[in-house]
Amino acid sequence: MSDSSRRPNSDHTIARNARYGLWLFFVYVLFYAGFVAISAFKFDALRAEIGGVNLAIVYGLGLIVLAFLLALVYMAMTRDNGPANPPPGPPAPEGRA
> How many domains does one find in the chain?
1
Residue 84 resides in a domain:
no
CA separation for the pair 69, 71 (Å, rounded)? 5
Residue 54 resides in a domain:
yes
Of the two residues 3 and 63, the one the predictor is more confident about is 63
Range of the domain at 53: 30-79
Residue 8 resides in a domain:
no
Summarised one tens digit per residue, pLDDT across range 19-78 is 999 999 999 999 999 999 999 999 888 888 888 999 999 999 999 999 999 999 999 999
Residue 18 resides in a domain:
no
Residue 91 resides in a domain:
no
Residue 89 resides in a domain:
no
- Cα distance between the two ends of the chain: 48
Mean pLDDT computed over 79-88: 65
Residue 53 resides in a domain:
yes
* pTM exceeds 0.75 for this model: no
Residue 87 resides in a domain:
no
Summarised one tens digit per residue, pLDDT across range 13-27 is 889 999 999 999 999
